[in-house]
C-alpha cells in the first residue's frame, strides 16, 4: 500500500505485509509513545481493525493485536490507559471517511486470527534500565540485574544482596503498573520457587517496587516486554546458567553496603551470623 495516515501523536505507514507506526515526540505525546519511537506491526500480528468515534470531535482507528503476538501488550496485561494504547490512531472527525477506507484495506489483508504461538512484534531494544523505588534494574539482553538502593530497599533485600538473573533461569515477568496502588516488576523463576506463594514485592529479591516518579510506565513496561521476549526465546536452564563469577564491584559501593549492613545489625534487624556471612560475601566481590 505504501500510504501514510497521520493522526495525533502518531502516523501509520501501510506496507504490503505490515504497518509501520511512527510516534511523535513532544510534550503532549504520551511518554510511552516517545519511548517506543516506532514499531513495525506485521499483518499476521493483527486480529482485526476497528473504527469508532473518539472524544472531542475525533475518530479512533485501532488495530487489534492477536493475543501472544506482541511482548509489550503481553507484559502490560490490559493495564494500559486508553490514551497510552500504541495500537490506537486518533484522527480529526473530518477524516473519518479516509480512516474507514484504510480500515477496510487492512481488514482485507488479514488472514489469521486467534492466539499467536510466538511473538511476532519485535521487543524494545536493549540495553534497558530504569530506577525503581528500592533499586536500579538493568537488562543487557542476557541477564537482569537488580542493584538495591540503601534509601529504599528493605532489610530482606539487603540481606539477599544485589541480584543477577540469567534469562534462561526465568519463566516469565509480572508487571503491575506504577499508575495503580503498589506497582512492581517481578521476575518469575524456573526453579520452582513460583510454586509457593511469593513474598510481598518489597521483600522479594526477584522484584523491584515502584513509587511516585520511580518505575514509570514508559521505562518499566518496555523493560518488562524486552525481558519477557528474551525469556520466551531462551532454552531451558543450562548446567552453568546460574554459575560463574559476576563483575567486580566498586570498592566504594561495597563500603557503603557494609556500612548500611552494619546499621541494620545495630538496629537488630540482622543477626550476628547474617551480618558476618553477608559482610564476607560483599568483601569477596572486591
Is residue 192 scored above 70 in pLDDT?
Answer: no
* Residues of the chain above pLDDT 70, percent: 85
Mean pLDDT (whole number) for 81-104 = 96
How do residues 16-62 score in pLDDT, each as one tens digit?
999 999 999 888 899 999 999 999 999 999 999 999 999 999 999 99
Quote the pTM value.
0.82
Is residue 260 scored above 70 in pLDDT?
Answer: no
Q: Which of 38, 9, 36 is nearest to 22 (CA)?
A: 38
Predicted pLDDT of residue 233: 92
Look over the chain and give the mean of its residue pLDDT values, rounded to a whole number.
88
- Say which residue the cell 486467534 belongs to: 114
Predicted pLDDT of residue 191: 76
Which carries the bigger pLDDT value, residue 241 or residue 155? Answer: 155
Predicted pLDDT of residue 271: 77
Strands (E), 8-108: 10-14, 18-23, 38-42, 46-53, 58-65, 88-92
Predicted pLDDT of residue 275: 73
Which carries the bigger pLDDT value, residue 259 or residue 76? Answer: 76
Confidence of residue 195 (pLDDT cuts 50, 70, 90): low
Cα distances (Å, whole numbers) of residue 218 to 9, 80, 183, 223, 268:
15, 11, 14, 9, 39
C-alpha R_g of the chain: 22
Q: Which of 274, 249, 278, 270 is nearest to 147 (CA)?
A: 249
Helix-strand-coil split of the chain, %, nearest 5: 35, 25, 40
Is residue 263 scored above 90 in pLDDT?
Answer: no
Cross-strand partners of 246 = none
Confidence of residue 167 (pLDDT cuts 50, 70, 90): very high
Among 29-43, 136-150, 238-252, name the one with the lowest average pLDDT.
238-252
Dihedrals phi, psi of 206, to nearest 5 degrees = -100, 15
Is residue 161 scored above 80 in pLDDT?
Answer: yes
Amino acid at each position: 500500500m505504501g500510504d501514510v495516515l497521520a493522526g495525533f501523536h502518531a502516523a501509520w505507514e501501510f506496507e504490503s505485509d505490515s504497518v509501520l507506526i511512527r510516534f511523535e515526540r513532544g510534550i503532549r505525546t504520551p511518554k510511552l509513545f516517545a519511548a517506543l519511537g516506532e514499531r513495525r506491526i506485521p499483518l499476521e500480528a493483527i486480529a482485526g481493525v476497528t473504527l469508532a468515534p473518539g472524544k472531542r470531535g475525533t475518530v479512533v482507528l485501532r488495530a487489534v493485536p492477536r493475543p501472544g503476538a506482541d511482548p509489550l501488550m503481553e507484559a502490560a496485561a490490559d493495564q494500559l490507559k486508553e490514551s497510552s494504547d500504541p495500537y490506537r490512531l486518533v484522527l480529526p472527525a473530518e477524516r473519518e471517511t479516509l480512516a474507514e477506507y484504510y480500515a477496510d484495506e487492512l481488514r482485507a489483508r488479514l488472514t489469521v486470527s486467534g492466539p499467536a504461538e510466538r511473538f511476532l512484534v519485535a521487543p524494545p531494544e536493549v540495553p534497558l534500565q530504569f530506577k525503581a523505588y528500592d533499586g536500579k534494574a538493568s537488562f543487557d539482553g542476557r541477564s537482569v540485574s537488580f542493584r538495591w538502593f540503601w534509601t529504599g530497599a528493605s532489610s530482606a533485600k539487603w540481606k539477599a544482596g544485589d541480584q543477577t538473573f540469567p534469562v534462561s533461569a526465568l519463566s516469565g515477568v509480572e508487571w503491575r503498573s506504577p499508575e495503580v496502588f503498589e506497582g512492581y516488576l517481578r521476575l518469575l523463576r524456573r526453579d520452582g520457587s513460583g510454586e509457593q506463594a511469593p513474598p510481598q514485592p518489597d521483600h522479594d529479591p526477584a522484584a523491584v517496587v515502584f513509587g511516585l516518579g520511580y518505575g514509570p510506565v514508559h521505562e518499566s513496561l518496555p523493560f518488562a516486554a524486552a525481558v519477557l521476549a528474551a525469556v520466551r526465546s531462551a532454552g531451558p536452564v543450562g548446567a552453568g546458567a546460574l554459575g560463574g563469577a559476576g563483575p567486580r564491584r566498586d570498592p566504594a559501593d561495597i563500603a557503603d553496603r557494609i556500612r548500611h549492613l552494619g546499621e541494620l545489625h545495630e538496629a537488630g534487624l540482622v543477626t550476628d551470623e547474617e551480618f558476618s556471612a553477608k559482610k564476607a560475601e560483599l568483601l569477596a566481590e572486591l
